[in-house]
A and B are shown apart, each in its own frame.
Chain A
Amino acid sequence: MAGNPACERFVPMLSPYVDGELTPAERINVERHLGACRDCTGRTADLRAESGLLRVGLDMAVDDVDFKDFAQKVMARVTPEKPPLIERMKLALSEMFLYQRTAMISSLATAAVLVLVALPLLMSDRAPVGYAAERMTVKSIQPYQNANARVAPVVMETDNGGTIIWLVDEESGDTSSSGKDDEELEEEIGGGMSPDGDGLKRPARPGTDAPRPSGGPL
């Protein structure tokens, strides 16, 4: 810091002077010194040159970089993109076929067989026809004609062609079944049954000694 002893005081102020960070009073003092000191004027020029050099030099280095995908890469990291469900499933399936082909094929074959077997079973597993069957309708009622019979069978035909026979054990002279003596038998037999002509419900008055009819041939 050659000749001028004032430089010692002003040199540290040159950097903030170049940056415009001095107070107005300091600035005036520095400028007064610069007017009289060649060295400090040179130092100031150096600081400005260096400042510009750094800016331009770094700018050149940044120009070499392609920022086209920069923002997208950042965005991908902050919001990992989730492909649509179908895409993900496709991907998962294709990977499975690629790496576990044998296992996949045998699994698929097993699944197909299961479907073929289970489906008809499931289809046939409908609600049982009977009291609770929704579609059970009484199509015909055929009274048992034997006057001596103790039971009054009621034959009902269901939608799916089955037949239900109620054998109502009745006390003689009592048409409404009641009490502990009542006995209900139910039997379903395949095949349709032609309804009897009049189709009237005419409960029989079975004799007490009459053999209990089974659901035999009607």
Chain B
Amino acid sequence: MATDDLTLVKRVRSGDQRAFKLLVERYQRKVYAVALGMLKDKEEAMDVSQEAFVKVYKYLDHFKGDSSFYTWLYRITVNICIDVIRKRGGGGEHVEFDETQDMDLSEARIGALGSRLGTNPQKSALRRELAEKIQEALATVPEKHRAILLLREIEGMSYEDLARTLDIPKGTVMSRLFHARAKVQKILSEYLELDEAKSGVGNE
């Protein structure tokens, strides 16, 4: 059975370097996925992922252990990503959602994604082009909403953990997640519609 995070953290604190390597190996893929979803750029995502782990190591003494190690790790990752995005400047990244706007999907699109992809899409059924489109769709979502959506989908974090990780109320988590999903869904539906019209056949 794998050693739990907090035990590994304790070992790292007592000077066990190998324990830290285990933590890195445990979370590297997910941290990278979050960074990639946030930044879209592969190299930047890789740099940020490494930076996140280096920072975690450096500030390990500040980790109190009253929350999960991974919520702390993701908070650091998301904060670095947001810093990178802000340093880039421009690009409409600061545009906040108009959260008063409701999930106004046109009637024609209701059920579009579900009917085309099924409720549990498999890698084999997913074309690379669509996988790339996902990152484009994510990039249209404001970074704070994006972070919530990514942490929910990649790590499967509970709303409670999301609230703790991002230091926001649970209600805000729910609201941001709802709007982020609506936005991404809209873009992906449009893409699939366009794709279907282009090929002239169904994409089942």
Contacts and interface: CB of A to CB of B under 8 A. Distances in A.
Interface of A: 1-2, 8, 11-12, 15-16, 19, 21, 39, 41-62, 65, 67, 70-71, 73-75, 77-79
27 contacts: A11-B103, A15-B177, A21-B159, A39-B107, A43-B110, A45-B113, A46-B185, A47-B185, A49-B117, A49-B121, A50-B113, A50-B184, A52-B119, A53-B121, A54-B150, A57-B134, A58-B134, A58-B154, A70-B24, A70-B28, A70-B49, A74-B53, A74-B57, A75-B17, A75-B20, A78-B54, A78-B57
Nearest to B103: A11
B87 interface: no
B102 interface: yes
B152 interface: yes
Given A56-B121, A57-B130, A15 B178 contact: yes
Given A43-B110, A71-B24, A77-B54, A62 B185 contact: no
B153 A51 contact: yes
Interface SS majority for chain B: helix
A65 B49 CA distance: 12
Interface residues of B, number: 61
B120 A61 contact: no
Nearest to B131: A57
B184 A16 contact: no
B178 A12 contact: yes
Q: Which 8 A-B pairs have the closest CB atoms?
A: A45-B114, A42-B111, A48-B119, A57-B134, A49-B113, A57-B131, A42-B110, A78-B57
B48 interface: no
Interface string B147-175: 00110111000110000000000000011
A67 B134 CA distance: 22
A6 B154 CA distance: 32
